[in-house]
Structure 1
Amino acid sequence: MEVLGPLRLVVDGAPVDVPGPKRRAVLALLALAEGRIVPVDHLLDALWPTEVPESGRQALHTHVSRLRAHLGTAAARLQTRHDGYRLDLTADELDVAGARSLLAKARADHDAFALLREAHALWRGPVLADLTDVTRIATAVEGCAQLRREITDGLIAAGIAAGRGDEVCGLAADALAADPLREPAVLLCMRALAAAGRAAEALRTAREFRRRLVEETGLDPSPALGELERDIAGGAAGPPPARPEVQARPTTRLVGRDDEVTALHRLLADERLVTIVGPGGVGKTRVALEVAGRTDASTVLLLAPVTDPAAIPHALAAALNLNVLQGDVLTACVAVLAHRAGLLVIDNCEHLLDAVRDTVEAVLAGCPDLSVLATSRERLGLAAEYTFRLAPLPLPGPDQDLPGVPSVAVFLDRAARARPGPPPTPAELRTVADIVRRLDGMPLAIELAAGRLSTFSLIDLHRRLDRSLDLLGGGRPTADARHRTLRATVEWSYDLLTDDERRLFRQLSVFVDGVDLETAERVGTEMGLRPDPGTALAHLVDASMIDVAFDGATRYRMLETLRAYGLDRLAEAGEDEAAGERFVRWAVELADWIGTVLGTENEADADTVLRRDLPNLRAAWRLARSRGLLDAATAMVTALNEAMSYRDLVELRGWAEELGDDPAIAAHPNAAAVLGTAAEAAYLWGDHPRAERLARAGLERATDATGKWFCLIPLAWVELARAAYPEVVEHCLAATVLARRAPEAIGGAALASAYAGDADEARALIERAHGGGTSPSQRSWIAYVSGEIESRAGHNDLAERHYLSAIELARRSGATFLVGVATVGLLTVRAAAGRVGDALRGYREVIDYFARTGNWTHLWATLRDLAGLLRTLGDDGPAALLVAAAADAPDAPAAVPPPPLVPGTPVLDRTELLEVARRAIQRNLQAVANDSAPTHAV
């Protein structure tokens, strides 16, 4: 492939014509990728930059197909990947890659002249001139121009050094004519002329450049020009200069940022000022340097070492290699930049915002062909500014190819440098994945962590990450002291905040999973921030100390590294005690709100808040327990009783049981409610004896209606599991007069009556409950009980309608437990109606659900129902195993009537039994699909 001129495809030594601009553009883009995959979306955007037509993908596919035909014997080189296309080319098969390779060899080889002459000869004319209306190709063409300039300058210098100045004079003159204000081109031309014995002409070239520079820019040349004039006048041209305009290049490859770099190039084609913002350590500088490296005529101004705002113009002059001896320095810099079409990168602006803002305004006003790319932890605040927020690297998700995840790939790349060795094992990759998750995908933190593998093993590193701010530090000092440690990087941003902003940042760090706007403003108000806490919050977001997401509800979060720093500063300021009390108080109030709203029509809203803020509630619960705040812990557990009962939030059960076991609870005024909630948790875990003990102990201490209700309901469920139906009715009816969730209690009495065979009484009871069900889950419970009543009465069609209603209401409200039990009833009536496939698929899902949530009481009932279906299908072996295990299980509810046991059937452990059930379901599903009898086996 040849791109250094008109596009040219050569197959088996013969050129091949590729017709059509779009097909040629596709081929060019694939070639310029140099063996990398080009995503389909990138190709579509390149071919149709304004709007991709509906037929765009098909058209692209057609172009690729025809390109394979053009490739002939090399068609296999054009590969289709899951996310794009790749043209497999080696370095010697692509002229631009060959040119780059020759340049690299020349820098390390004594015979540089021959190598660079070969590289220079690869250009056959204007690069891809007919395709530069494609933005991505135009960007690549600019890169080719920069490469050619480097090769040309190197060739001229090598020719002079080799005593062949006369051979490169014409080349030097052409290079100067192409860019007459580029001083390095002038110096090379003068050296070439001097080396060729044309000293007078060399000095005349210098004089003409001085005059041209003054007339067009008002500037004087650098001292290097005068020194070279003196050398030539004295008969010595001096050594060839170092390659001009070389910026410091990153020492490691950029991983996982191709999309961002491409997006920035696209933005800079239309925007004059783009600011990359993000927290310290997210990789803003590295991305900006990559953009600069892929851009022709870029200048990089590094502000990290600059502390005096007045020094910015002088730093810019140094970056431009400009020596300003008199007059305004910034004016001189703008005059030089005004004649350049390219990019100015200004890195690390956050500590000099006002001065940078003034500098950028002057540059934009005086340099119409120049774009500015800034990096900062907050935006500059100019009207022309486009803010590009750089996020941390993507984190690994389930079932991903871990080495291909950018955050993991960065760790592996840096780890290989710190400790070379064999590729990581699958177990080590999983450990790496957890490390990068805990480091928030922050490139700096990941690189520092990987570097620590020179000292720690991977497991040791993983175990010590709870103190990542201190662990990821030390080492040898660097030019930029801020980047010696992760802590120093965070501290840099913290020190730029105002006192009020620091205080709010510290106080919000106790929230482990962020807050909504109302909570953040409430915390600020309680702290006494004036006049408006929202202003401080907004600047924390602008300064990249807090991130904001607008997915559904607005949410403010800190990266874990920033939160850890905030907690340290909170303790250092002596504010941790008060902040902790405020946090626990917030959690108690939130739990109370959730518990109240769960009993209303707005239950779904409360469910959303509960699941969203569960990490914060968990942290507050642990803090309350560690500080012995019994009142707060009691309030949280009892408020979330209904959430625990109807949802699969199993950790709430653990809180209830933990508090129920606390000896201090016996003397607490709310002991009965706590013990009743703990009894409900024990029942859901299948520990019926413990549930009964806790419930009866609570009844003995109950002094109010709430405490009695909390104990009577789990006691009724224990009796229901024993098939003691009269006792269930007694407990539930006693609970109905206590004015708390009466529909649930009445429904329990109706359920027991139905199981006892009294359908009329059951219907009468459930009718009483209909008027009291205000929340969706309460109405779901009533519908479920109605379905059970009609199912037992043999009215399967009516029962199915009730079950479907129960499932719909439960799903709407997040009551996953009710979805599970209603689904079991629905499967029973569908199986009875001969809808075997539907029933089997449903059993597979609900068995997995109950197993996942640890609810074996209802799982045993489900497995018994499945056994009944398997028997009707003639699959007696698995059915017998399920029935035998359920009969032997202490947490299985009583079956009325009990299913028949097959003598001699072994009792499997629970893991084996679930496998038996799943295999039987799959086998019978296949048989149903094949409309044939199953092959019965255990």
Structure 2
Amino acid sequence: MAEGRVSQRRVPTAVGVEVLGPLRLAVDGVPVDVRGAKRRAALGLLALAEGRTVAVDALVDALWPDDVPDSGRQALHSVVSRLRSDLGPAAVRLETGPAGYRLALAPDELDLTRARRLLTTARGLAGRDPAAAAALLREACDLWHGPVLPDLTVVPPIATAAQACASLRREVVDALVSAAVAAGAAEEVGGLAEAAVAEDPLREPAVLGLVRALAATGRAPAALRVAREFRARLAEETGLDPTPALAELERAVASGGAGPAPTRPAAIPAFPFPATSLLGRAPEVAALHGLLAAERLVTVVGPGGVGKTRLALEVARPVADATVLLLAPVTDAAAVPHALAGALGLTAVRGDVLATCLAVLGDRNGLLVVDNCEHLLGAARDLVAAVLAGCPRLAVLATSRERLGLAAEHAHRLAPLDLPAPGQDPAAAASVALFADRARRVRPVPPEQWDTVADVVRRLDGMPLAIELAAGRLSSLSLPDLRDRLDRALDLLGGGAGPSGDARHRTLRATVAWSYELLGPDEQRLFRHLSVFADGVDLPTAERLAADLGLSGDPGSLLAHLVDASVLDADLGDGTRYRMLETLRAFGRDRLAAAGEAADADERLLRWAGRLAAEAGTALGSADEPAADRVLRREVANLRAAWHLARGSGRLDATVALITPLYDAIAYRDLLELRTWAEDLAEDPALGRSPRAVLVLAAAAEAAYHRGDRATARRRAEAGLATPDVDEAGHWLCRCVLSVVALAAGAHGEATGHALAADRTAPRGRECLGLAALATAYGGDLDAARAWNDRGAADAVAPTMRSWAAYVAGEIDVLAGDGAAAEAQYLRAVDLARASGATFLVGVATVGLLTVRASSGRVPEALTGYREVVDYFARTGNWTHQWATLRDLARLLRRLGDEVAAGAIEAAADAAPDAPADGRPHATGPRPEVPPGRAAVLDLARRAIDEALTRR
């Protein structure tokens, strides 16, 4: 059964488990005798988890600490099976999940949970109604019915939990004594207060409670004697003074009062738990609880503002004996032990402060949180190492922007909050939920603006600090205005104290600067120059950049430390890639300007982009095309940054260097941005100054052809041929564009002429002879067409060119009436094109394949395929080939009896200026008086396909 399913349906069988004494189980009020040490220990472990899943490995290690059976999981399964038998009709409560086992209990079904809830409720009432608080605390106290699980403490995790339960009881007793004194019932708790001091004479909260109880019952001299004896005992045995609370209480008793009742144990100050709720981190909280049950030291690692402190406090909140050491305000390494003493509520008067703290912590079974270690890494490391060595029952949860570097350390890297996925309801994403929750306090976000919130949190990388600061800005900005100004997020999101209230968190810029200042000079410089890459870099690029900057040391070590310091993220998926969060990139660019390096970094980016375009362009025409396609697609965001930089600064040569090598990317791939860039550059009046203008015009002509503007494609190609000193590459590329334009117009002879002219200057194995073959075949000479295509195919090396030759062969086979041969060629073309990333060829070859399948009676396959291809050409804006696809679909619809849809589609194609010529005879049938427009014809085609599939 999946975890949590019990809460989704009514569970009729009541269960009661008691762990605050000997283990007891009751089902529907009837006691159950759970026999067998392993079974009882398993029940105890599952109950003590208080509804959390206990991992299989943790259970096996606990039940068989010295000698795990050969099949530990099978042995555990047997124990769990017997325990389910003990539960009888409540066996459904013992759930099996992918992570382990869980005992699902309501809050009132486990005495430990009831005790915690009663203590929490009583603390809330103590100031308003101490009598009611005392009544709740008496009820909590009564839940202990003997030593906790006395027969099971040989199991280490249970022994640890028993210590925690003892600590919880001390808290309950302290609170009960204070509440009873405040309610005027001190005489009822005098014996309890004396017993608490006798149990632990050095525990100040117990002493304070006894002093108050004695003073409240008229025994002020005895109360002052207890205080003096405690002060002397503490100094003698620990070298410490009591907290100021004792001196304050002594003064009050001497003046005839009992002093104020504390709301928490005075020896352990309340840690600064935030007032706002923690959203989107439930999996991380559960994971950390699980880790801390098995590991002595867990370090939450992540960049500034990701929420490490907030998460650690949430983990610490339910722990009965938790101490929180905040290192953010500490600037001197020597002061770290004193800060720990302060967190423990101690004042050191002589001797070794750290040793004294370890003596106080030594027998505790709780949790020490050490927050913000990164700026005092060495001192924090030494402190934690001493705690681990001197306090064997204590677990440590540290937060830092990099690991402490201890052997016992388990690093848990905290990622930003999840972002809305495409097609997902934005409100379901934790980042959007956090923004909405914080915005609610300033200006609630109406549902119609969820998509805008999604844009905001995406641009803030899901970083909690940035999201909270952005939500706060709604007091002075509308949501759209906030979104539009996030390019200045480092300055925009300033002001106001952050989660911990210290100066570092008052602005996003200060938070990032904190991480930056902890880096060495070479690391800072590499960080600055990496910030110009919008989507990170791969390892070779990062290493080349480090070498180019002349940095000392090994580039790999520098990069590793940037990752360890949480200013870079290493993606180890398909090869190592280093990325920065957007806020870190913005800070890095600011630091470039401050260091006078911005121009140099920009030039390096442009040189990198030009080099990558040249290498990719060469490889796209070779057998290495698939790898080059992957590189090109992976680097589009970085190329975009380089393009906008070059265009914005008027660097004509840099923009030309980006476009001219990538003709194949424009012609055969759905990288639509590249087409837009080429067309933008082609219209630049300054282009004429470039010696490579003809190559730009050829690329822009191809781009215009793909969006159906054949007139512009022809104009640009002819302008390219008219350019003075046209080189061979410019000549054949422009001729190829003129050939496809003529082919779309049905001018087969002209198309053949341009294709053969292109072949005279083109590299071997290009598409030119295939174009001549296609035009010749459409003109009716199939033998000549095969000869041209075979010659071109023989020299083809790049997968796209081989795909092109297979597609042309399929078209010739269709015209020859050989459907089986045509299908084989189309399939080969699709496979080759898909492997090389040539999505345009996948589209056109699939159209031919669907025509064959429709003709052979495989109508459902054809209809489904047409729906996919129609959607593809709609996404890429290629209406020349969309109209050809729609005409083929219309012929199939007419055969299926849908004359109305077929006639409307054909009428729209005949009226479209960008539709290719169609030499096939038109069928007669009903046609609308006004042909539908583009959007309407696509909607009509999709509905007709769906209806036809429904009828099949």
Does the pair score TM above 0.5?
A: yes
Counterpart code for 2:554: D
More displaced, 236-245 or 711-720?
A: 236-245
Describe the SS at the equivalent of 2:432: helix
Map of 1:830-909 to 2, 5 A cutoff?
830-902=853-925, 904-906=927-929, 907-909=931-933
Map of 1:519-534 to 2, 5 A cutoff?
519-534=541-556
Pair 1:595 & 2:614 matched: no
Contact map agreement 2:610 2:658 (CA 8 A) in 1: yes
Residue 298 of structure 1 corresponds to: 322
Measured in 1, the distance between the counterparts of 2:472 and 2:401 equals: 25
Residue identity (%): 57
Measured in 2, the distance between the counterparts of 1:365 and 1:136 equals: 19
Counterpart code for 2:466: A
30 and 749 in structure 1: CA distance in 2 versus 1, 3 angstrom threshold: farther
Describe the SS at the equivalent of 2:766: helix
Pair 1:493 & 2:515 matched: yes
Contact map agreement 1:79 1:86 (CA 8 A) in 2: no
Report the alpha carbon displacement of residue 154 of structure 1 after superposing the two structures with TM: 1.3
Measured in 1, the distance between the counterparts of 2:526 and 2:504 equals: 23
Report the alpha carbon displacement of residue 107 of structure 1 after superposing the two structures with TM: 4.1
Measured in 2, the distance between the counterparts of 1:498 and 1:278 equals: 19
Describe the SS at the equivalent of 2:639: helix
151 and 785 in structure 1: CA distance in 2 versus 1, 3 angstrom threshold: same
Measured in 1, the distance between the counterparts of 2:153 and 2:951 equals: 61
Pair 1:626 & 2:645 matched: no
Residue 931 of structure 1 corresponds to: none
Map of 1:376-455 to 2, 5 A cutoff?
376-419=400-443, 421=444, 424-455=445-476
64 and 821 in structure 1: CA distance in 2 versus 1, 3 angstrom threshold: farther
Residue 790 of structure 1 corresponds to: 813
Pair 1:325 & 2:381 matched: no
479 and 852 in structure 1: CA distance in 2 versus 1, 3 angstrom threshold: closer
Residue 668 of structure 2 corresponds to: 646
More displaced, 90-99 or 642-651?
A: 90-99
Counterpart code for 1:251: A
Residue 934 of structure 1 corresponds to: none
Report the alpha carbon displacement of residue 664 of structure 1 after superposing the two structures with TM: 1.4
Residue 4 of structure 2 corresponds to: none
Measured in 1, the distance between the counterparts of 2:870 and 2:440 equals: 45
Measured in 2, the distance between the counterparts of 1:670 and 1:59 equals: 78
Measured in 2, the distance between the counterparts of 1:129 and 1:633 equals: 78
Describe the SS at the equivalent of 1:321: coil
More displaced, 702-711 or 193-202?
A: 193-202
**Corresponding residue to 2:121 among 70, 87, 101:** 101
Residue 678 of structure 1 corresponds to: 700
CA RMSD of aligned residues (A): 3.8
Counterpart code for 1:436: V
Report the alpha carbon displacement of residue 775 of structure 1 after superposing the two structures with TM: 1.4
**Corresponding residue to 1:666 among 673, 676, 688:** 688
Residue 283 of structure 1 corresponds to: 307
872 and 220 in structure 1: CA distance in 2 versus 1, 3 angstrom threshold: same
- Number of residues of Structure 1 aligned to a counterpart in Structure 2: 914
More displaced, 55-64 or 240-249?
A: 55-64
Gaps of 5+ in 2: 1-14, 63-70
Report the alpha carbon displacement of residue 554 of structure 1 after superposing the two structures with TM: 0.7
Contact map agreement 1:79 1:88 (CA 8 A) in 2: no
**Corresponding residue to 2:191 among 170, 189, 192:** 170
Contact map agreement 1:867 1:880 (CA 8 A) in 2: yes
**Corresponding residue to 1:183 among 204, 214, 234:** 204
More displaced, 833-842 or 451-460?
A: 451-460
108 and 446 in structure 1: CA distance in 2 versus 1, 3 angstrom threshold: farther
**Corresponding residue to 1:607 among 609, 618, 629:** 629
Measured in 2, the distance between the counterparts of 1:361 and 1:541 equals: 23
Contact map agreement 2:435 2:471 (CA 8 A) in 1: yes
Counterpart code for 1:878: A
Contact map agreement 1:275 1:380 (CA 8 A) in 2: yes
783 and 179 in structure 1: CA distance in 2 versus 1, 3 angstrom threshold: farther
Counterpart code for 2:121: S
Residue 774 of structure 2 corresponds to: 751
| 1:199-223 C-alpha deviation (Å, 9 max, x unpaired) | 7876776687678757875656556
65 and 397 in structure 1: CA distance in 2 versus 1, 3 angstrom threshold: farther
Report the alpha carbon displacement of residue 23 of structure 1 after superposing the two structures with TM: 12
Counterpart code for 2:800: S
Contact map agreement 1:587 1:617 (CA 8 A) in 2: yes
Residue 806 of structure 1 corresponds to: 829
321 and 442 in structure 1: CA distance in 2 versus 1, 3 angstrom threshold: same
Describe the SS at the equivalent of 2:402: coil
| 1:552-577 C-alpha deviation (Å, 9 max, x unpaired) | 11111110011111112212222211
Measured in 2, the distance between the counterparts of 1:822 and 1:811 equals: 11
Report the alpha carbon displacement of residue 537 of structure 1 after superposing the two structures with TM: 2.5
52 and 821 in structure 1: CA distance in 2 versus 1, 3 angstrom threshold: farther
Please report the TM-score for the alignment, with normalisation by the length of structure 2.
0.88
Contact map agreement 1:46 1:135 (CA 8 A) in 2: no
303 and 27 in structure 1: CA distance in 2 versus 1, 3 angstrom threshold: closer
Contact map agreement 2:370 2:399 (CA 8 A) in 1: yes
Counterpart code for 2:863: L
Pair 1:721 & 2:744 matched: yes
Measured in 1, the distance between the counterparts of 2:226 and 2:138 equals: 25
Gaps of 5+ in 1: 929-938
Pair 1:575 & 2:594 matched: no
Measured in 2, the distance between the counterparts of 1:671 and 1:195 equals: 97
Report the alpha carbon displacement of residue 738 of structure 1 after superposing the two structures with TM: 1.4
901 and 593 in structure 1: CA distance in 2 versus 1, 3 angstrom threshold: farther
| 1:114-135 C-alpha deviation (Å, 9 max, x unpaired) | 3432343345566788999999
Residue 157 of structure 1 corresponds to: 178
Describe the SS at the equivalent of 2:795: coil
Contact map agreement 1:100 1:147 (CA 8 A) in 2: no
Counterpart code for 1:321: G
Report the alpha carbon displacement of residue 483 of structure 1 after superposing the two structures with TM: 0.8
Measured in 2, the distance between the counterparts of 1:841 and 1:62 equals: 54
Measured in 2, the distance between the counterparts of 1:777 and 1:140 equals: 66
Measured in 2, the distance between the counterparts of 1:134 and 1:922 equals: 64
Measured in 2, the distance between the counterparts of 1:223 and 1:106 equals: 22
Measured in 1, the distance between the counterparts of 2:280 and 2:162 equals: 24
Measured in 1, the distance between the counterparts of 2:337 and 2:791 equals: 83
Measured in 2, the distance between the counterparts of 1:173 and 1:797 equals: 97
407 and 101 in structure 1: CA distance in 2 versus 1, 3 angstrom threshold: same
More displaced, 19-28 or 369-378?
A: 19-28
122 and 342 in structure 1: CA distance in 2 versus 1, 3 angstrom threshold: closer
Pair 1:353 & 2:374 matched: no
Contact map agreement 1:521 1:534 (CA 8 A) in 2: yes
Report the alpha carbon displacement of residue 137 of structure 1 after superposing the two structures with TM: 9.5
Residue 470 of structure 1 corresponds to: 491
